[in-house]
Structure 1
Amino acid sequence: MKKIVLIALTDGFADWEASYVSAEINEPDTGYQVKTIAIDQEPKTSMGGFRVLPDYTLNDLPEASHVAMLIIPGGTGWRAEHNQPFRSLVDLCLSRNIPVAAICDATTFLGNGGFLDHNKHTGNMLANLKSGAPNYKGDSYYVEAQSVSDGNLITANGSAAVEFSRLILEKLGVLEGDRLEEWYRVFKNGYLPA
């Protein structure tokens, strides 16, 4: 049975931020399958207008032993009170050593939940993180970088979908070494050097 990589969805999710990596993870020979999860079973509409029917809800989770990673794309919904129950899923994943990867405003969500207080991380600038996450206390762990991996947390700013994907692919072992570097150069630069 393939392990599940969950992608968290809210209304207004940033559809492009997990698109590079989900296509690679979902390749037939990776041993993984991508599934989506949301607060409820209502379709979620992305910033780009894609309507997605979630595979799972927070009340209907797959068995934790079947989950390989939780990916949280950014978007316009992470500061809304009705999406805060996702904290319990993040807590469950981290307590079971399941990596959590968050990009853009999803890092603000993690910061507000206290998940960034003890790991190196990045986000959409420290000032933005602090203003959007009043409970955030991880200033000393903040790194000015496109994407950061530390322990079971991967974070990225909103302009770093390719860097974010690279760290996820590496963490899952989907691509490694020269293959990973080639993938990264193609998607970052649009070509390989001659």
Structure 2
Amino acid sequence: MTPKQIERAKKKIADIKRTLSSEKRKFGCYDDSRGLRYLPTKYFIQLGDYTDGLTYLKWFDKNFPDDAGFPEFLFEQTIIFFKCGKLNIAEQKAFQTFCSNPYWFDKFFGRHISPHDMWHSSSLTRPEYTDALDYSSSQPDLSDFAVWLDSFSSTDDFINRSNKYVDIYKRLKTETDKEMRHYLVRQSFQLEQGE
């Protein structure tokens, strides 16, 4: 990054923090319907400032404990936790990224994307949403992360859990019984949370 780009990224982070703080003072809580809270991770990664990125994620978890985020935000969390040596949390976030969009890793690695014949709970989980991914395994600053993610996503545990997750959503595509659908959704949530 050029010095100007670095300065711009730092300014964007500061502006977002200032806006969120202002909302908290004004409303007594965060009213972030615009989703500004998801943006700083991208800038921390661009800056290679993973330590401040980790500090931001701790703040985020404290202030938005029930916020699942979007696929790109979960993926960015995975990168930050990996780069800070928090591998257990990086593994959790990697699996949550997969659950949020099962095509994300294929896009990151430049692999062919084969759509699963499954129920997609939102447009964010569809194969075409991977166009929002701004990262690639070919980026030099992510080469160590790419090696780790490829290795992690090839483990028996990850493969078994991801297959089970996809199977649940294949069943949800055709399941009409309300109680069974509730049971399957609860199973998928527990799987995603690592329970």
TM-score, shorter chain, exceeding 0.5: no
TM-score normalised to structure 1 length: 0.33
Larger Rg: 1 or 2? 2
If each structure's strand is expressed as a fraction of its own residues, which one has the higher value?
A: 1
- Higher RCO (C-alpha 8 Å, min separation 6): 1
If each structure's helix is expressed as a fraction of its own residues, which one has the higher value?
A: 2
TM-score normalised to structure 2 length: 0.33
